[in-house]
Structure 1
Amino acid sequence: MSKLLRVLIVEDFVDDAELLLLELRRNGYEPISQRVETKIAMKTALEQQDWEVILCDYSLPQFCAMEALRLLQEKELDIPFLIVSGSIGEETAVAAMKAGAHDYLLKDKLARLVPAIEREIREAKERGARRKAEKKLRYFAYYNELTGLPNRTKFIKHLNLKIKNFQEHNFNSPFAVLLLDLDRYQMIKYSLGHLVGEEMLRSTSRRLKTCLSDRDFLAHLGGDNFAFLLPDIDTLEQAKQRINEIQSKLKSPHNFDGPVITSTASIGVVMSNLSYQQAEDFLKAADTAMHYAKLQGRGSWAVFDRSMHEKVIERFNLETDLQQALKSAQLYLHYQPIVSLQTEELIGFEALVRWRHPQQGVISPAKFIPVAEESGLIISLGEWVLTEAIERLCIWQEYYPHNSDLTISVNVSGLQLKHPNFLANIDRICEQFRLSGHKLKLEITESVLMENPQAVSRLLTQLQEREIRICIDDFGTGYSSLAYLHHLPINILKIDRSFINNMDNGGKNIDIVRAIISLADSLGLEAIAEGVETQQQRDLLRDLGCEYAQGYFFSRPLPDDAVLALLSTNPV
């Protein structure tokens, strides 16, 4: 079967053109050809067809090979170009090759025609592949492959031009740099998978594009960092308006054919009046402001000032030290007793993690737990707490078998619940220490419960199938829906300490506590009051029908040796 070949013949003699076509047919080709003999005709032919090879006589009455080569160069076309002439001197041939011709042949010696065409078409394809690869490399040198947005290199280049313009116009062309970091992105990526994480970044980039005005510049700096260069911003009020617009676009839920994800961004802002000379200095300042904003909570923003640096460095150091603490036995557990309000019998303990820093001493969980959650260290920290707490409970019950009904309560973060190995880890740890599931209670907050109720419900059902009991921690401080609460597989409501405080002074707190206890009773749930500090609080809770409590009135959180001493005196 003949092979098609698109060939443009630049020749003023019809017979010579036919000889070329005959040679092609003799060698198994079916040429799709056009003959031209002027520059205008060749230009039109190039615009109307993608030619695979050009066969050109060296000299024509109104045209020549050198002009034809210049036309190809003007159009930036790389098409194999072979000169086929009646006679051509060596110097002329060399000049033509230097001008871009790929080969030359004599009309009375066409045996080399087809091999030359095949060779040049093959080499043209290789050149095309190289150009395509080089173009791709040039593109990805300045654009992010995942989102298609300009990357950090392109942003820095653009920002440096803006800085130069700002200086040349006597600082009369103000601007602002915004650096965005997606809140909870690491949690999303590691709990739902990298593919969902990537789709999250693409979805975010599409939303951010809708915030652009004509002169704005948006870039994806890498990971979950995005940056805006906003011209004509010279007041914080203007910057605030743009930030509110961005946050509004980002906070709508993302739906990825399954998980529904919500996220905000922490934003660092740098105004041009800081008069930095280099783009990198602006980005460093914006990064500092962004991390400072994270310290204020999700969805926050902050404008850079030099005093922020120390606080951000402190946060970085805390994260680094926490990583080391997980490896070097700086963490330990205390255990707060939970008692029956009716009998004051000990029923179990809540495990509470503590950190003794080698230089700073004891660091409050309120300080390091948020850092662990934001950095993703909560996964390894939570697994360590679970393992340590279960091991200690088993040891206590081995020492004091008459306390075999005691339970251990462990706090679990949303990131842990979403981790794909969460259930497998619990199974492994319980099996390792031969702990029955009914002796383990897992405490989760209302906010985690309501973030994705259907997915959480499935997981809680699987936990309850293992006889593990579920507590809603700090109940009343979140935003749980009573409709969801009725259907979720939970066992216990823990009344937040903020409602227990001042309960003995009357007022709204006692009404709230009464309502929570009544709700628990109607749903068939147990109620545990946290933060009980006075006898009057204990008595009121008992009168209201609350079953269990914990707090300083009964006992502070205890180290392991104090728990052993307590259990040695605990009645059978």
Structure 2
Amino acid sequence: MKLRSGLQTQFLLLMAAGLAVVVLLVALMMHRQHRMQVAVEDLSGEAMQTMVGESLRRRGEGTASRLAESLASPLHHFDLDAVGGLGRATLRQPGILYVIVFDPQGNVVHDGSDDASGYGKRMDDPMASGAITARALHTQLNASTMDVSAPILVGGERIGGVRVGYDLAAVHGFREAALADLNARLSELGRRNLLWVGLLAGGLLVLGGGVLWLVQRRLVRPIRQLADSARAIEAGHFDTQLPTSARRDELGDLMRAFGRMRESVARHDRDIRRMAYTDALTGLANRLAFRDALDERLLLLRGGTRQLALLFADIDDFKRINDTLGHDAGDGVLLQFAHRIRAAVERLGGDDAILARFGGDEFVILVEADAVTGDIRGVASRLAQTLVEELGAPLLVHDREVFLGTSIGITLFPEDAVSATELMKNGDIAMYQAKVADKNCFRFYSRAMDQAVERRMHLEQELRGAWDRGELSLVYQPFYRLSDGALVGAETLLRWQHPEHGMIAPSVFIDVAEQSGLIETLGPQVLRAACHDAVRWRQVREGAEPLFVSVNVSARQLRNGDLPQVVADCLRDSGLAARQLHIELTETAVIGDEAHASRLLNQLRSSGVKVWLDDFGTGFSGLSHLRRVPVDGVKIDRSFVADILRDPDDLALTTAIIAMAHSLGITVVAEGVEKEGQHDILRDRGCDLAQGYWLGHPLPVEGFMDLLRPEPMPA
């Protein structure tokens, strides 16, 4: 009995505790409901106020905007009847207190009344200033009125404005009525909820455990699985296996949607990676993709027997295409080069070859070979030679043939370096050496190149200020007419006397100036100084045949396109006659783009300046080029003159050049005349002018002027 009494007590206590908990919950819920009702009323009031006010504002701005557009034409033509009609029509809309049309000074044009009683009066109410100065829709509020103004524009010019006033009292009344209705509904809902809360409170105790188990099994577990999958995807593991479900409810839809999202993210990741690792113009791998592939390939090759080579190919004189034909033509050239390189790599590079474009006009190729069965140096040499030949073939750009070469630098793994950074640096150095060598060729990296590059960079740095420091000077080598031995002119030569290294050979520093672009600064300086020196010669040779001065111009200066203007400026500043200036250009400077060169040379010749073709016979010389490129003279290269006495072929070629040039009315100049026999045979063959050590050494300007002074008569 005690046991039963004890069990009953425990049960009653448990029920009492349960009932107390339910009562407490009900009390808390009622209190919470009351608090929520108050909060809902406040929030609803604010929301209604905001919603109604925003709705009224949008309505007012829309009405004012449309009315402004409609009033533009009537107000522009000052049709007050039409203005009044539009104002009265708008004024009849519910809630509108007034409609005022005004001019730019704020004077009333029409107030919407039948008699337009306010016409001509200046608006002076508190909101008038804001409406008058507004240049766009402008809304103002006070306690009872919302004023919306809009400018009236004709052709972008403000000819006036319109104001529409709305009564806010109706808005407040609507809000109060809506809140009262909402409060009544909430009170009724609260009473109903109280009944249901009491009925459901007991059921909640029973259902709580079951609901908790059901939620855990049907909701929490799948969501936890999705969360784990989301963390894996966030870490970049897009192949993570997602939970599958055949459920037809929202959670099933969520799981399937999550799976589709994973696939979409993976697809976009692949697209982004492809964009990040692909050159947009050519579709080849870019620098980033190539570096990753090279790092991976080196990691696999370490300790193995396979070797690889990197070929850095850079288009020679590519800037000329962009400068003369435009960047669209440059893109077309890059696409043609990429196609040719890809075809060569597919034929000769092997299955493991990688081709990439590093940007600009630089392409990089990776090829492999087995150290036992293959010769990586031979593979790279064959591929490089093929690229030099095929990329040197003419390109068709804008219906014209363009000749461009390619300089290729090659570095080997593991012979030259074992890291990607060192290999890429070595490839750049080798490619630079190929450009320095002669362009349109290839060079293998050697450790001596590092020192050469360092010396060249130092030389370039020293050359930058050499002219201003007075280290650079001009010397003049005379030209003589072979028919009578008369001195007729001189060639301008640049010399560099370095304070530490002494006299630096022109073949060294002129090439540095060409490659670095310094020639574009030095060239005009040399031209200007030579013109001024030539003017001084006239003072010494008064009454005698005027001498000409010839100045060498680089291909880079010709490509810039401003050479005629530079020459004109120098002639004007110095006072030298145009016929006394001769411009010397190498064959290779004009052959690359004959149309561009011909246009510039015609401009020079039309001004009176003579144009000579230097080193004739060493490039792509021929009668066809002489006919297409306008020149006044050709200089036979010294390599032909040197062997003219003992090599019948050189004599025959020299004779042919003289005859060919004379048939076209072109002057022939022989350079490098160092023997009397050379002088005599050239004179006999009809050569016009000559220069060389046998005739005269290069002299500074003062020494050359001494040469011009007549010798004193003997006493």
Scaled by the length of structure 1, what TM-score is found?
0.72
Structure 1 position 349 matched with structure 2 position 534: no
- Tell me the equivalent position of 1:489: 630
Structure 2 counterpart of 1:492, one-letter code: G
- Tell me the equivalent position of 1:209: 342
Structure 1 position 410 matched with structure 2 position 551: yes
Structure 1 position 180 matched with structure 2 position 313: yes
Q: d(CA) in 2 for partners of 1:71 and 1:326?
A: 75
Structure 2 counterpart of 1:559, one-letter code: P
Q: d(CA) in 1 for partners of 2:649 and 2:457?
A: 41
Aligned pair partner of 2:260 in 58, 64, 75 = 75
Q: 1:188 to 1:360 in 2, by over 3 A?
A: farther
- The answer as to whether partners of 1:342 and 1:542 remain within 8 angstroms in 2 is yes
Q: d(CA) in 2 for partners of 1:166 and 1:254?
A: 38
Structure 2 residue runs without a partner (length 5+): 1-245
1:289 is paired with a residue of what secondary structure? helix
Q: 1:553 to 1:194 in 2, by over 3 A?
A: same
1:274 is paired with a residue of what secondary structure? coil
1:174 is paired with a residue of what secondary structure? strand
- The answer as to whether partners of 2:540 and 2:708 remain within 8 angstroms in 1 is no
- Tell me the equivalent position of 1:66: 251
Q: CA deviation at 1:239?
A: 2.0
Q: d(CA) in 2 for partners of 1:137 and 1:458?
A: 47
Structure 1 position 444 matched with structure 2 position 579: no
Q: d(CA) in 1 for partners of 2:400 and 2:558?
A: 14
Structure 1 counterpart of 2:352, one-letter code: R
1:229 is paired with a residue of what secondary structure? strand
Q: d(CA) in 2 for partners of 1:218 and 1:488?
A: 39
Structure 1 position 228 matched with structure 2 position 365: yes
- The answer as to whether partners of 1:447 and 1:480 remain within 8 angstroms in 2 is no
Q: d(CA) in 1 for partners of 2:262 and 2:642?
A: 81
- The answer as to whether partners of 1:178 and 1:268 remain within 8 angstroms in 2 is yes
Q: d(CA) in 2 for partners of 1:150 and 1:570?
A: 73
Q: d(CA) in 2 for partners of 1:367 and 1:389?
A: 22
Larger CA deviation: 146-155 vs 278-287:
146-155
Structure 2 counterpart of 1:551, one-letter code: G
Q: d(CA) in 1 for partners of 2:267 and 2:538?
A: 70
Q: d(CA) in 2 for partners of 1:390 and 1:186?
A: 30
- The answer as to whether partners of 2:581 and 2:610 remain within 8 angstroms in 1 is yes
Q: 1:277 to 1:478 in 2, by over 3 A?
A: closer
Structure 1 position 156 matched with structure 2 position 297: no
Q: CA deviation at 1:253?
A: 2.1
Larger CA deviation: 154-163 vs 498-507:
498-507
Q: 1:204 to 1:440 in 2, by over 3 A?
A: same
Structure 1 position 314 matched with structure 2 position 499: no
- Tell me the equivalent position of 1:330: 471
Structure 1 counterpart of 2:695, one-letter code: F
2:465 is paired with a residue of what secondary structure? helix
2:309 is paired with a residue of what secondary structure? strand
- Tell me the equivalent position of 1:563: 704
2:707 is paired with a residue of what secondary structure? helix
Structure 1 position 525 matched with structure 2 position 666: yes
Q: CA deviation at 1:77?
A: 7.8
Larger CA deviation: 183-192 vs 365-374:
183-192
Q: d(CA) in 2 for partners of 1:157 and 1:423?
A: 49
User: After the TM superposition, which parts of structure 1 deviate over 6 Å for at least 4 consecutive aligned residues?
Assistant: 130-137
Q: d(CA) in 2 for partners of 1:427 and 1:196?
A: 30
Deviations 1:3-42 (A, max 9, x none): xxxxxxxxxxxxxxxxxxxxxxxxxxxxxxxxxxxxxxxx
Instruction: Summarize the alignment of residues 166-177 of structure 1 with structure 2, pairs less than 5 Å apart.
Output: 166-167=301-302, 170-177=303-310
Q: d(CA) in 2 for partners of 1:531 and 1:204?
A: 40
Q: d(CA) in 2 for partners of 1:191 and 1:319?
A: 27
Larger CA deviation: 437-446 vs 539-548:
539-548
Q: CA deviation at 1:335?
A: 0.6
Deviations 1:257-280 (A, max 9, x none): 155322232222222233844311
- The answer as to whether partners of 2:340 and 2:391 remain within 8 angstroms in 1 is yes
- The answer as to whether partners of 1:165 and 1:173 remain within 8 angstroms in 2 is no
- Tell me the equivalent position of 2:218: none
1:329 is paired with a residue of what secondary structure? coil
- The answer as to whether partners of 2:611 and 2:631 remain within 8 angstroms in 1 is yes
Q: 1:570 to 1:162 in 2, by over 3 A?
A: farther
Instruction: Summarize the alignment of residues 66-215 of structure 1 with structure 2, pairs less than 5 Å apart.
Output: 66-76=251-261, 141-167=276-302, 170-190=303-323, 192-213=325-346, 214-215=351-352
Structure 1 counterpart of 2:538, one-letter code: Q
2:440 is paired with a residue of what secondary structure? coil
Structure 2 counterpart of 1:215, one-letter code: D
- The answer as to whether partners of 1:72 and 1:78 remain within 8 angstroms in 2 is no
Q: 1:346 to 1:205 in 2, by over 3 A?
A: same
- The answer as to whether partners of 2:561 and 2:600 remain within 8 angstroms in 1 is no
Q: d(CA) in 2 for partners of 1:238 and 1:440?
A: 51
- The answer as to whether partners of 2:324 and 2:596 remain within 8 angstroms in 1 is no
1:232 is paired with a residue of what secondary structure? strand
Q: CA deviation at 1:199?
A: 4.0
Q: 1:306 to 1:449 in 2, by over 3 A?
A: closer
- The answer as to whether partners of 2:481 and 2:487 remain within 8 angstroms in 1 is yes
- The answer as to whether partners of 2:489 and 2:548 remain within 8 angstroms in 1 is yes
- The answer as to whether partners of 1:192 and 1:418 remain within 8 angstroms in 2 is no
2:509 is paired with a residue of what secondary structure? helix
Q: d(CA) in 1 for partners of 2:611 and 2:292?
A: 54
Q: d(CA) in 1 for partners of 2:386 and 2:317?
A: 20
Q: 1:563 to 1:245 in 2, by over 3 A?
A: closer
Structure 1 position 553 matched with structure 2 position 690: no
Q: d(CA) in 2 for partners of 1:208 and 1:372?
A: 30
**Greater share of helix residues, 1 or 2?**
2
Structure 1 residue runs without a partner (length 5+): 1-60, 80-129
Deviations 1:382-407 (A, max 9, x none): 22221221121123324554356211
Q: d(CA) in 1 for partners of 2:647 and 2:409?
A: 45
Scaled by the length of structure 2, what TM-score is found?
0.59
